[in-house]
């Protein structure tokens, strides 16, 4: 017989770190022929089929050819994914550049980022939550009051102080109002929870991004702290050059819209030169 009492003493690692590690542990990293592992294992995914990409380390001396391939393109199934392929160094360089840019922009335009990600400043968040909580309290109070009113009219009916018709009418009214209130209470609870979650996530994202302003090298710790997944797209050779898009999904913020990054990018670079 086990009894679990949570939060009774200070944690060794915070809950977010713990959860992230559990997630990463689910991605078993298979050792390659050379025994090398790569920090993008479990993080790199194929943009077309969503499968994880396998890390392939070819020989012991030449790491520049180490690459990732879509795991479903390696299966001998009839519906193979068009072979997605990216060299590990390319993936690393590209991801580092994006992280550097994102961190710089977030730290330079924190409030605007918060706004663009749909969160409010902490004072406004408090105001918004207070308003919603007050509305919730009011709805809950009225709901209990209707319970009491119903009891009262029922007693009146039993005591003969109220006609059957009148009782029917009143109780129907109370029931309708309670049903409406129930819906409203559920909606408000959901809204409060979502709002709180959204705000918490955006704050976590901003805090993390600010921590890594100016990094020059990507480490597994930074990658895991910042990035949830990278989606590797098919190479486009239509321009005559090899162009490969990688979409990065950030922890707590998801995929940042391109329009947002471009807007901040031009301003960040202006700010730097100024
Ligand atoms: Zn694929």
What distance in angstroms lies between residue 75's CA and the mean position of ligand 1's atoms?
A: 10
What distance in angstroms lies between residue 232's CA and the mean position of ligand 1's atoms?
A: 9
Whole-number pLDDT of residue 27: 62
What distance in angstroms lies between residue 82's CA and the mean position of ligand 1's atoms?
A: 6
Residue partners of 183: CB distance under 8 A and separation at least 6: none
Higher per-residue pLDDT: 177 or 264: 177
What distance in angstroms lies between residue 161's CA and the mean position of ligand 1's atoms?
A: 75
What distance in angstroms lies between residue 83's CA and the mean position of ligand 1's atoms?
A: 7
What distance in angstroms lies between residue 10's CA and the mean position of ligand 1's atoms?
A: 43
The answer to whether 145 and 103 have CB atoms below 8 angstroms apart is: no
- The pLDDT-based confidence of 60 (bands split at 50, 70, 90) is low
The answer to whether 84 and 234 have CB atoms below 8 angstroms apart is: yes
Three-state secondary structure call for residue 219: coil
Residues 84 and 45: their CA atoms lie apart, in Å, by: 10
Residues 263 and 271: their CA atoms lie apart, in Å, by: 13
What distance in angstroms lies between residue 205's CA and the mean position of ligand 1's atoms?
A: 28
Residues 201 and 199: their CA atoms lie apart, in Å, by: 5
What distance in angstroms lies between residue 99's CA and the mean position of ligand 1's atoms?
A: 24
What distance in angstroms lies between residue 47's CA and the mean position of ligand 1's atoms?
A: 7
What distance in angstroms lies between residue 153's CA and the mean position of ligand 1's atoms?
A: 66
Instruction: State pLDDT tens for residues 188-244.
Output: 999 999 999 989 999 999 999 999 999 999 999 999 999 999 999 988 888 888 888
Q: Is 77 a residue whose pLDDT tops 60?
A: no
Continuous H helices in the chain? 15-26, 71-74, 88-108, 110-116, 122-158, 164-211, 220-226, 258-273
Angle at 162 between CA 161 and CA 163, to 5 degrees: 130
pTM: 0.75
What distance in angstroms lies between residue 79's CA and the mean position of ligand 1's atoms?
A: 10
- Buried-state track 113-140, b at ≥16 Cβ within 10 A, e below 16: bbebbebbeeeebeeebeebeeebeebe
Instruction: State pLDDT tens for residues 8-42.
Output: 877 778 877 788 777 777 665 666 666 778 999 99
What distance in angstroms lies between residue 233's CA and the mean position of ligand 1's atoms?
A: 9
What distance in angstroms lies between residue 52's CA and the mean position of ligand 1's atoms?
A: 8
What distance in angstroms lies between residue 41's CA and the mean position of ligand 1's atoms?
A: 15
The answer to whether 71 and 52 have CB atoms below 8 angstroms apart is: yes
Per DSSP bridges, beta strands 44-46 and 227-232 are parallel
Strand partners, 54: 69
Whole-number pLDDT of residue 272: 60
């Amino acid at each position: 017989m086990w009894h679990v009492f949570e939060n009774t003493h200070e944690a060794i690692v915070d809950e977010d770190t713990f959860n992230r590690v559990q997630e990463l542990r689910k991605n078993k990293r298979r050792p390659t022929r050379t025994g090398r592992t790569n920090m993008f294992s479990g993080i790199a995914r194929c943009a077309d089929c969503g499968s994880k990409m396998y890390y392939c380390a070819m020989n012991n001396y030449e790491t520049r050819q180490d690459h990732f391939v879509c795991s479903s393109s390696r299966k001998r199934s009839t519906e193979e994914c068009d072979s997605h392929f990216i060299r590990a160094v390319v993936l690393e360089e590209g991801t580092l550049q994006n992280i550097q840019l994102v961190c710089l922009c977030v730290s330079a335009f924190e409030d605007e980022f918060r706004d663009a990600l749909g969160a409010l400043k902490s004072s406004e968040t408090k105001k918004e939550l207070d308003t919603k909580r007050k509305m919730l309290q009011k709805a809950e109070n009225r709901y209990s009051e209707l319970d009491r009113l119903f009891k009262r009219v029922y007693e009146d009916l039993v005591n003969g102080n109220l006609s059957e018709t009148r009782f029917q009418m009143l109780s129907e009214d109370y029931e309708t109002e309670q049903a409406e209130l129930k819906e409203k209470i559920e909606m408000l609870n959901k809204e409060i929870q979502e709002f709180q979650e959204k705000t918490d996530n955006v704050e976590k994202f901003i805090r993390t991004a600010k921590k890594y302003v100016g990094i020059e090298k990507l480490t597994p710790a930074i990658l895991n702290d910042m990035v949830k997944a990278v989606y590797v797209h098919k190479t486009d050779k239509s321009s005559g050059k090899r162009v490969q898009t990688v979409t990065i999904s950030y922890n707590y913020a998801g995929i940042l819209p391109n329009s947002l990054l471009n807007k901040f990018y031009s301003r960040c670079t202006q700010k730097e030169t100024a």
